[in-house]
A and B are shown apart, each in its own frame.
Chain A
Amino acid sequence: MRDVAQTPSHPPIPSAAPGISLRGLGKSFATHAAVREVSFEIPAGALTVLLGPSGCGKSTLLRLIAGFEAPTAGEIVMAGRSLGDLPPAQRDIAMVFQSYALFPHLTVAENITFGLSVRGTAKAEMAPRLARVAQMMGLETLLDRKPAQLSGGQQQRVALARAVISERPVCLMDEPLSNLDAKLRAEMRVEIRALQKRLGLTMVYVTHDQVEAMTMADRIVLMNAGRVEQEGTPQEIYAHPASTFAARFIGSPPMNLIPTDRLGLPGGAMAGLRPEDIHFAAAGAKVTVKSAEYLGADLLVTLDVSGSEAVLRQPARAGLPAGPDLFIGWAPEALRLFDAATGLALAPGATRFQANEAQANEGRA
């Protein structure tokens, strides 16, 4: 077996973090399929976020990669070899658990070095590695404490330190920030991302929080009901959601979905417009203002567009326009169209005509 403890301890950067490819991966339990036909590439040295609502199969997918569950279909290939039924310890993978999984009876130092010690790393090698990682994670003064004596953020750091000290090139994270308060979460997002970049880790990060996904990810794999809904960079997914699900899941507030005829466009499809892509105009689709939410820099205005609800984002200092007759306009290139029945995106940049045509084709098929 490859023992990472044997690799030189300086620098703590894994020589070459491997990429992972998932090929037709499936996992069925007795009563349901948690993951179906999932195939995608996890690029080497990048942070890939598995994003989706709870129960979408993202955690199961992570457990498949870690080797805690065996897939019922497909395979996982890492660094050119199929992982098959290789036990978790031999996959060269580190993992941070949602609950941190710190050993409550061990001190911080013992927790961090647990892996090294069970793998029989020499004490002389362990001490400098511990010192370096503790310093990196700001844990030097806490090494003698027990996990119960630490705050949530400190526990999180210990869990990270335990993953980092293993010097394993792949790191899996299962909703690592979900137990922290909002402020700490924002700080840890930055820290984890910086750590991943500094160490050049291949990181697979599971979350249901689209803000985490958007701010941290090199690539997002959006999952829904056990399948991959869409994958791409945060920019790609934000700008070109592949479905109404992706459109509504990414973005806060999410993309507005309005039947096209209510916007004065040829009917039959769903129009998707980001809140920042619509603006008050002298003419266009008629709206009424239902409410407004002041966010300091921005103002979120909830509108009624002939019976559909939509949110408009504009700089707060612009203020609400006066007058009973209000209209909205939008940048034509920002308009996205979705099939009303399937929810799938119609050809990117589809014109109204193309949308109609697609609709007609759908009808004929």
Chain B
Amino acid sequence: MRRETIHAWLMLLPALVVLATFMHVPAVETIIASFWSTARGARPSHFVGLKNYERMIADPVFWQAMRNNLVYALVTVPLSMGLALVMALLVQGRVAGRAFLRMAFFTPTVLPLIAVANIWIFFYTPGFGLIDQIRGLFGLHAQNLLGTGSTALYAVAAVAVWKEAGFFMIFYLAALQTIPTTLIEAARLEGASRWQIFRRITLPMIMPTTLFISVNAVIDAVRLVDHIFQMTQGGPDNATNILFFYIYRVGFQFWDTAYAATLTVVMIVILSLLALGQVVLIDRRVHYK
């Protein structure tokens, strides 16, 4: 018995060490750090209680980053998921060039987000970028989509959608393939239209996948900021400054690590609540076989 316990711990040890070193300890340290001040030169770090949090609540950039992030999520999550489902439905059946289409849809996923950002910078370049060239064909004037406050956030969101949809498509495709064809045939025999089959059979049956993808999409809406570094640096005037990007700036450009830790704690709490909410809420309506 005792020997078995030791064996069990030995087997757990490698994973435990890695998880503790890179996840649990830093997480706890982050929470602790959020209650302390940032060490500056001669002044060592000291306990400040909730001061960092008070500062955060009074910080307009924080609130703008939160608002931006909300919009960013509201755009990227439904769009990337919807697009993924449409693409999966498109390439699951007998379509000419199915293999090519699948590959084409998946390609953006393979590219690093930094590379994707560079491609899209060319698309967005005012005057001679792809988008303005197309606009030019219709006699529309050139536009600086990335440089305009009202459009910049949507412009970077579009990049994320383009990058994510192909990845989510793979999951939807796998889910669609597991639906037995006899179910579809049975529904067809009963006189169900294509839309009814989709709405009443396909959609409920891929719900577990939808839940999985939605959790990932929400996390990615917070996490995917690489292209913002490349494309806008959070500008113009914080228009594309989303929470994670703001944390990076505070932590590694302003070196205000305590405040960055505070922001991180908030981000983690929000993410946890979202994931929990999704699982609890949607779980009731998901059918698992």
Which A residues lie at the B interface, using CB under 8 A?
Answer: 66, 68, 87-90, 93-95, 97-99, 101, 103-105, 114-115, 118-119, 146, 148, 162, 166
Residue in contact with B205 in the complex, picked from A98, A105, A119, A162, CB distance below 8 Å: A105
Bound: A276/B287 CA distance, A = 55
Query: Which range contains the number of B residues in contact with the other chain?
Result: 20 to 34
Bound: A90/B182 CA distance, A = 18
Instruction: Report the minimal beta-carbon distance from B117 to chain A, rounded to whole angstroms.
Output: 40
Residue in contact with A148 in the complex, picked from B183, B193, B289, CB distance below 8 Å: B289
Pair B190/A166 contact, Cβ less than 8 Å: yes
Instruction: Report the minimal beta-carbon distance from B182 to chain A, rounded to whole angstroms.
Output: 4
Instruction: Report the minimal beta-carbon distance from A253 to chain B, rounded to whole angstroms.
Output: 34
User: Chain B residues with Cβ under 8 A from A93's Cβ?
Assistant: 189
Q: Please, what's the 1-or-0 string for B164-208, where 1 marks a CB less than 8 Å from any CB in chain A?
A: 000000000000000010110111111111001000110011010
Pair A88/B188 contact, Cβ less than 8 Å: yes
Pair B191/A115 contact, Cβ less than 8 Å: yes
Instruction: Report the minimal beta-carbon distance from B148 to chain A, rounded to whole angstroms.
Output: 46
Pair B289/A118 contact, Cβ less than 8 Å: no
* Closest chain A residue, CB of each to CB of B182: A101
Instruction: Report the minimal beta-carbon distance from B84 to chain A, rounded to whole angstroms.
Output: 21
Residue from the set B180, B189, B205 with the largest chain A CB neighbour count within 10 Å: B189
Instruction: Report the minimal beta-carbon distance from A159 to chain B, rounded to whole angstroms.
Output: 9
Bound: A184/B191 CA distance, A = 31
* Closest chain B residue, CB of each to CB of A90: B191
Bound: A95/B192 CA distance, A = 14
| Overall SS of chain B's interface | helix
Pair A89/B289 contact, Cβ less than 8 Å: no
Pair B191/A118 contact, Cβ less than 8 Å: yes
Pair A68/B190 contact, Cβ less than 8 Å: no
Bound: A343/B118 CA distance, A = 76
The verdict on A88 contacting B289 (CB below 8 Å), with A118-B192, A118-B196, A119-B190 known, is no
User: Chain A residues with Cβ under 8 A from B205's Cβ?
Assistant: 104-105
User: Chain B residues with Cβ under 8 A from A98's Cβ?
Assistant: 182
Pair A104/B287 contact, Cβ less than 8 Å: yes
Pair B180/A99 contact, Cβ less than 8 Å: yes
User: Chain B residues with Cβ under 8 A from A114's Cβ?
Assistant: 187, 190, 192, 200
Bound: A97/B180 CA distance, A = 12
Pair B190/A115 contact, Cβ less than 8 Å: yes
11 of the cross-chain contacts (CB-CB < 8 Å) are A87-B188, A89-B192, A98-B182, A99-B182, A103-B186, A104-B287, A104-B289, A114-B187, A114-B190, A114-B200, A118-B192
Residue in contact with A88 in the complex, picked from B189, B200, B207, CB distance below 8 Å: B189
Instruction: Report the minimal beta-carbon distance from A32 to chain B, rounded to whole angstroms.
Output: 20
Bound: A166/B204 CA distance, A = 24
Instruction: Report the minimal beta-carbon distance from B254 to chain A, rounded to whole angstroms.
Output: 51
User: Chain B residues with Cβ under 8 A from A146's Cβ?
Assistant: 287
Pair B188/A89 contact, Cβ less than 8 Å: yes
User: Chain B residues with Cβ under 8 A from A68's Cβ?
Assistant: 185, 188
Instruction: Report the minimal beta-carbon distance from A173 to chain B, rounded to whole angstroms.
Output: 13
Instruction: Report the minimal beta-carbon distance from A44 to chain B, rounded to whole angstroms.
Output: 21
Pair A95/B287 contact, Cβ less than 8 Å: no
* Closest chain B residue, CB of each to CB of A1: B191
Bound: A185/B205 CA distance, A = 30
User: Chain B residues with Cβ under 8 A from A104's Cβ?
Assistant: 205, 287, 289
Residue in contact with B191 in the complex, picked from A89, A95, A101, CB distance below 8 Å: A89
User: Chain A residues with Cβ under 8 A from B200's Cβ?
Assistant: 103, 114, 118
Instruction: Report the minimal beta-carbon distance from A3 to chain B, rounded to whole angstroms.
Output: 8
User: Chain A residues with Cβ under 8 A from B204's Cβ?
Assistant: 105
User: Chain A residues with Cβ under 8 A from B193's Cβ?
Assistant: 118
* Closest chain B residue, CB of each to CB of A146: B287
User: Chain A residues with Cβ under 8 A from B183's Cβ?
Assistant: 101, 103
Residue in contact with B185 in the complex, picked from A101, A105, A148, CB distance below 8 Å: A101
Bound: A105/B192 CA distance, A = 16
Instruction: Report the minimal beta-carbon distance from A106 to chain B, rounded to whole angstroms.
Output: 8
* Closest chain A residue, CB of each to CB of B207: A105
Residue from the set A90, A105, A148, A162 with the largest chain B CB neighbour count within 10 Å: A105
Instruction: Report the minimal beta-carbon distance from A206 to chain B, rounded to whole angstroms.
Output: 14
User: Chain A residues with Cβ under 8 A from B191's Cβ?
Assistant: 89-90, 115, 118-119
